Amino acid sequence: MQDINLDCLREFYFIKKREWIDNKVIIASQTAELKKVTSVIEETNKEIAKLEIFLANVNKRLIADGALQRKIIEIEDKTKALLDRQKTVSEPKECNTEAIIEKIEELQSANQSR
């Protein structure tokens, strides 16, 4: 009877010891997994912060549709005015490019000799 109780007690001890070891392994693996997940969360939070800063900068630079339309109209008006000015400028009918080139060369040589 005592041998049976002692054997049962040993078996119970080893079962509990095995459960304890299994639980330690599970705890260690879950702790490692928790650290990995925590680091991923931290990296993701850093990335989110960077993206929020980027989004804030983009929103600062963003032009409203009405303002954009006004800018487009202003640019078109300026372009039209410049084209009209260009049409009013008269070009000489005959332009002696060789004489102009000679004068430029003379001016350059005069400037270099100074």
Q: How far from the centroid of its chain's Cα atoms is residue 30's Cα?
A: 35
Residue 93 has pLDDT above 70, yes or no: no
Q: Are residues 83 and 103 in the same domain?
A: yes
State residue 17's pLDDT score.
Answer: 97
Reduce the secondary structure of the chain to three states and give it as a string: CHHHHHHHHHHHHHHHHHHHHHHHHHHHHHHHHHHHHHHHHHHHHHHHHHHHHHHHHHHHHCCCHHHHHHHHHHHHHHHHHHHHHHHHCCCCCCCCHHHHHHHHHHHHHHHHHC
> Does residue 30 share a domain with residue 74?
no
pLDDT digits (tens, 9 = 90+) for 32-84: 999 999 999 999 999 999 999 999 998 888 877 788 888 899 999 999 998 88
Pull the structure tokens for residue 82.
Answer: 């410049």
Residues 57 and 9 in one domain: yes
Which residues form the domain of 6? 1-62
